[in-house]
Structure 1
Amino acid sequence: MKRSAFILPVLAVLLMVALSSMFIVDEREKKLVLRFGRVVQVHEDPGLAFKVPFFDEVVPYSDLILSRDPAQIRVIPEDQRILIVDAFARYRIEDVTKFRQAVGSGGQANAASSLDKILDDSIREVLGSVTSNDILSVDRATLMNRIRDRTNTRAENLGLSIIDVRLKRTDLPTENQTATFARMIAERDEEAADLRARGREAQQRIQAAADRTAVELRSEARREALVIRGEADGERNRIFAEAFGADPEFFEFYRSMTAYQNSLKGDNTTMVLSPDNDFFNYLKSDVGSAIAE
């Protein structure tokens, strides 16, 4: 009985010591083993690990990709136009030993404060070297990559690796927006007026060319029409000459009928002539009547 009473407490103590010497490393984290504040082990692979009980302290750190969304900052680009920039960064703890040495027991809170300052400085340096038009343009990937690289270089001292930096918004300050919008509207109005002026100039050139072409076409058409009409008149006269030469009496009759037709038109035609006038030969002569029949 006495021996059993002694062995059971010893086993309990040994079990407690064994359990306190073991710890589990999760796949989502890295763990440091500290002995009197000094790093003695680094565990990055998931699984079961061991430490010296009562002397060693296990400190966990996240192995996930973390986000940092600092406050908006004012940036003055190369053209001296103030912009409000809102950015965020994605990072991870790459070197837990260096991270611990850099931030101490403050952990991610101290790291976030230091990273915010590094990100702030990188944004100001990169965006301060370009114009506001470059910053406000759609294609800003080059600028964001430059900010990421600068931030990553400085964050290595913290044991961090910067994966990405993005500019969420780049806006003008409220007090400058009205003036800027008015200037942009004036510039667009000037461009529109210039385009309209060039359009009117082009219209006038095209209209003048079209009018000149139309005049030339009409002149050519009239010339051709006169030529055709002259040829037709000549052909008609030739035919008439042949016909009238074959029968002179018929030619006289045709001329008289044409004269009657041209003279006696409408309801108010009045002619003062002697009844014996030659104009009425074919209205009163037997020959004329015979031919008319």
Structure 2
Amino acid sequence: MKKLLFILICLLLCIVGCSTEDSNKKNDPENQSSEKVFKDDTDKEVKIPKVPKRIAVLHPTYVGALVKFGHKPVAVPEFVNKNKVLNDATKGIQRIDNTSVEQVTKQKPDLIITTIQDKNIKKLQKVAPTVAFDSEKSTYKDHTKKLASLINEQEKAQQWIKDWDKQMADDKKELTPLIKGKTISVLQQTPKGTMAFSDHLGRGTEILYDGYGMKQPKALEKATQEKFATPINPENFDDYIGDFAVIATNGNQSPDFENRNYWNNLTAVKNKHVIKFDVTETQYNDPLSLEKQRDIFYNALKSKK
């Protein structure tokens, strides 16, 4: 009889304990909510799903990190079709016009990722929680960490950055005899003329400047302090183009300036320190794009040692 009573008391205590634990979980605000607060690059706090399942991304720059960490969006901008790395990584994902609120709405997103320049932000906010990023305010590492936090993959982002920094350090050490103390410029022929780029907005600049420690020519550094690129005239090439030059091409198209004496008389050209880089292959600064760009620039520089 005493043994039976003891067993009943133990069962009762167990039931009471479980009930108390369940009650505490229910009363915990963290467990009650299916949302969390995210601070975007506008310094605005946005309530977003704790576990977003239908993410619409409206700029290619923010696609690669999500895919790298195992979370494919339900919609991406049509621009990815013009970029082999991102196009291949997003096979089967719906392409949309990133300026069309109607097309975004049809995808029934529970989270929208866009840029601070997006003119439809207020309309998008009525469709789903919307976070905005600023590529001129945050670095590629900032973006990688922030995008990972949206999908609860912070550890994967930290590990990627750790591995990436090690790769950059290893490359830099090997390439030091060639690149130490050298300047480099990244150029692209555009409808607005020849543009020279800043040190942190894609086209390999994150690798060449941040990763390998190369520098911009002083005139280019000054001209791009507050903007992502600056137009340069052929007669000023000598001021803006460094010991090395990267030409960002669109496919196999060659820029007109390659036929000018201004170009052919440059030290970088005479030393054969020119690297061609196809932006239709890859150009953005997400993890997937950077890994591809690393292969391109590492091999190109290694071949010039």
Q: Which has the larger radius of gyration?
A: 1
For the aligned pair, the TM-score class normalised by the smaller chain equals: under 0.3
Q: TM-score, normalised by structure 1?
A: 0.21
Higher relative contact order (CA 8 A, sep 6+): 2
